[in-house]
């Protein structure tokens, strides 16, 4: 009987860093997930990062595998995918599902979205801050190279409106984490990017080879800018001189050969 009670108590332990038993449980799960091919590349054979994300999953009462597939490092900062944050809100049991109210005129800077949901306990309708294209332009999100605000504004408006609504209504659900698109938008472009993205994400797949969008792949903007500049300006001074010398050399040699032939027998 004592053994049965002990087994139940062990199963009820939540993995994390708050007790020796929780750390032991976390270590077991970390070993399992870090050796799995189902987790993103960034977490394979990376027990330290796995442990941190699994601790987050425990604190947020979320599925561990789902967390590993939706936590990214952007500009050195851990961030949640927008879809994950919305899913956490919709499943917390305190609110109805998030809805979106369109504002302004579509196709103009006034186009916007307000996210809202019904609080189950009170029946009140709660609304978040309005997000518009004008806000995206004023904050510099819209004008960034490769910005999805230009190509899929409606989706970006909903993601941003939802994240702002959740942060102002139930900030404990995100445990202080921003969404990956927020971190990308608010971080200057001249810093080193560390982007961990899942191959099946549709909202932020950069125009780059497959390795560049593999979770855990480090993309350095300085290196990309240098490569682009080298392609535009491949040191013309050094390459032009040898070409001119090679072009002149044959011309000097051909002239005497032609004179010798015209002066020889039979001409």
Which pTM was predicted?
0.62
Per the CB < 8 A criterion, the answer to whether 24 and 31 are in contact is: no
Q: What is the pLDDT of residues 83-139, one digit of tens each?
A: 999 999 999 999 999 999 999 999 999 999 999 999 999 999 999 999 999 999 999
From CA 16, how far away is CA 23, in angstroms rounded?
A: 5
Map tokens 């939802």 to a residue. 162
* Torsion of Cα atoms, 221 then 224 then 229 then 235, to 10°: 130
Cα-Cα-Cα-Cα torsion 156, 158, 161, 162, nearest 10 degrees, comes to -120
Pairwise CA distance, residues 216 & 44, whole Å: 10
Mean pLDDT over residues 183-193, rounded? Answer: 65
- Give tens-digit pLDDT for 6-62: 444 445 677 777 778 888 888 889 999 999 999 988 899 999 999 989 988 888 888
């Amino acid at each position: 009987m004592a053994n049965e009670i002990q087994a139940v108590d062990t199963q009820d332990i939540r993995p994390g860093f708050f007790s020796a038993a929780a750390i032991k449980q976390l270590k077991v799960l970390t070993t399992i997930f870090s050796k799995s091919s189902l987790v993103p590349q960034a977490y394979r054979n990376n027990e330290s990062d796995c442990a941190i994300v699994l601790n987050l999953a425990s604190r947020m009462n979320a599925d561990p595998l789902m967390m590993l597939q939706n936590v990214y490092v952007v500009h050195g900062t851990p961030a949640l995918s927008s879809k994950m944050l919305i899913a956490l809100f919709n499943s917390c049991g305190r609110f109805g599902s998030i809805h979106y109210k369109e504002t302004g005129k579509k196709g103009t800077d006034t186009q916007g979205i307000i996210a809202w949901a019904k609080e189950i306990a009170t029946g009140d309708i709660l609304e978040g801050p309005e997000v518009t294209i004008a806000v995206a332009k004023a904050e510099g999100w819209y004008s960034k190279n490769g910005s999805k605000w230009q190509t899929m504004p409606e989706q970006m408006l909903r993601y941003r409106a939802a994240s702002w609504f959740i942060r102002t209504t139930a900030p404990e659900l995100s445990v202080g984490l921003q969404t990956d698109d927020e971190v990308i938008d608010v971080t200057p472009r001249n810093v080193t990017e560390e982007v961990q993205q899942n191959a099946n994400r549709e909202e932020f797949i950069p125009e780059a080879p497959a390795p560049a969008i593999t979770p855990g792949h480090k993309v350095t903007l300085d290196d990309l800018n240098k490569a682009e500049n080298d392609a535009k300006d491949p040191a013309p001074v050094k390459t032009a001189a040898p070409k001119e010398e090679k072009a002149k050399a044959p011309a000097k040699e051909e002239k005497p050969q032609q004179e010798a032939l015209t002066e020889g027998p039979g001409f």
